[in-house]
Amino acid sequence: MDNLSLLEKFADPEIMQTLSMGEKMLASLYVMILGMTVTFVALCILWGLIVIMSNMINGTKKKDTNVVKAPVKVIAPAPVAEVEKEEDEELVAVITAAIAASLQTSTHNIIVRNITRVSDVTPAWGRMGRMEQMNNNF
Looking at the fold, whether 42 and 85 belong to one and the same domain comes out as no
Q: What is the count of structural domains for the chain?
A: 2
Query: Is 107 a domain residue?
Result: yes
What average pLDDT score do residues 7-36 get? 85
Residue 102 is given by DSSP the state H
**Residues 87 and 52 both lie in one domain:** no
The answer to whether position 98 is within a domain reads: yes
Instruction: Determine, yes or no, domain membership for 48.
Output: yes
Binned at pLDDT 50, 70 and 90, residue 138 comes out as low
- Contacts of residue 9, defined as CB under 8 A and 6 or more positions apart, other chains included, come to 15, 16, 19, 23, 27
Give the tens place of pLDDT for each residue, 82-104: 555 666 788 888 888 888 888 88
Q: Is residue 33 part of a domain?
A: yes
Question: Which pTM was predicted?
Answer: 0.38
**Does 15 map to a domain?**
yes
Same domain assignment for residues 50 and 14: yes
Same domain, 53 and 94: no
Whether residue 70 is contained in a domain is answered as: no
Q: Are residues 128 and 86 in the same domain?
A: yes
CA–CA gap between residue 8 and residue 23 (Å, rounded): 12
Which residues, including other chains, have CB under 8 Å from residue 102's CB and lie 6 or more apart? none
**Does residue 116 form part of some domain?**
yes
Res. 120 pLDDT band, cuts 50 70 90: confident
Q: What is the pLDDT of residue 109?
A: 82
User: pLDDT tens-digit profile of 41-77?
Assistant: 999 999 999 999 998 888 765 555 555 555 655 565 5
Containing structural domain, residue 93: 81-137
Whether 26 is covered by a domain: the verdict is yes
Q: Three-state SS for 36?
A: helix
Residues contacting residue 103 through CB under 8 Å, at least 6 positions apart: 110
